[in-house]
Amino acid sequence: MNTIPIRRNFVLLACLTLTLAFLWVICTAEPSVADPLIKKNKRQYTTDFRLDACTFSTTGSNEYFILEPGYQLNLAGEEKGVLIELSITVLNETEMVGDIETRVVEEMEREDGELVEVSRNFFAICNETNSVFYFGEDVDIYEDGEIVSHEGAWRAFENGNLPGLIMPGIILLGARYFQEIAPEIALDRAEIVKMDATLQVPLDEFENVLVTLETSPLAPGEKDLKFYAPGVGLIKDEAAELIEIVNP
């Protein structure tokens, strides 16, 4: 009686059983929070935009952000019984930030008709990528018609501040990036969470709406969804919704 094939089959079966058991342990084991692979795969927000590869313009646009002098968006809505009005105007003005010439975009916010904030934001568009970058802002906070603060003001290339990305030229679902890089002053960041939303606002219904989720490590727990329509720009910011577009 020849027992060699039987032994060989037994050894092969044993090896196969051990291999399957080992794979089952690996696949079902609870991962350790110290696992370097998990740390490596944790999604971060981009801070390095390789701006040295860009030449900048103060006028232009990409699909969701327009830098044409005279272009204006007016939004309004009610929040906790207070009427919020937001006006965003691309001014016929430029401002040097470091060595970069930027376009000035003015934002004016009112509550129940009273002016509460005016900001002059500095943007430029990268010709190579069509991305719009944010180089800082001057801020005036008002109370009873008087300026009481400049809280939130910052400029790139001063005190360790760097430009942020306000709107990518190429939209990628899940992309994360810092919009402002001013430590201890402004660290707003965004994540693209939807690219094909449909949204009804007072002015009209828009399709293929881009939705971003904004947060800041300076305000843990606070979240803000913003909605951008192609060829238009911002159409909803919290309670404020688009009511008017003024073209140049």
Closest C-alpha to 105, from 133, 131, 63, 143: 133
DSSP classification of residue 176 = E
The CB-based long-range contact list for 209-218 (8 Å cut-off, 24+ gap) reads 209/235, 210/64, 210/171, 214/179, 214/188, 214/189, 214/190, 215/188, 215/189, 215/191, 216/186, 216/187, 216/188, 216/189, 217/187, 217/189, 218/184, 218/186, 218/187
List, in sequence order, every residue forming a beta bridge with 103; answer none if it has no partner: 94, 123
Domain 51-246 has CATH 3.30.70: no
Q: Spell out the per-residue pLDDT of the chain, length 248, in tens.
A: 444 444 444 444 444 454 444 434 334 444 433 333 334 446 899 999 999 999 999 999 999 999 999 999 999 999 999 999 999 999 999 999 999 999 999 999 999 999 999 999 999 999 999 999 999 999 999 999 999 999 999 999 999 999 999 999 999 999 999 999 999 999 999 999 999 999 999 999 999 999 999 999 999 989 999 999 999 999 999 999 999 999 99
Confidence (pLDDT) at 43: 80
Separation of alpha carbons 169 and 192, rounded Å: 13
Max intra-chain CA distance, the chain: 106
Q: Any idea where the domains of the chain sit in the sequence?
A: 51-246
Q: What is the pTM of this model?
A: 0.82
Confidence (pLDDT) at 42: 67
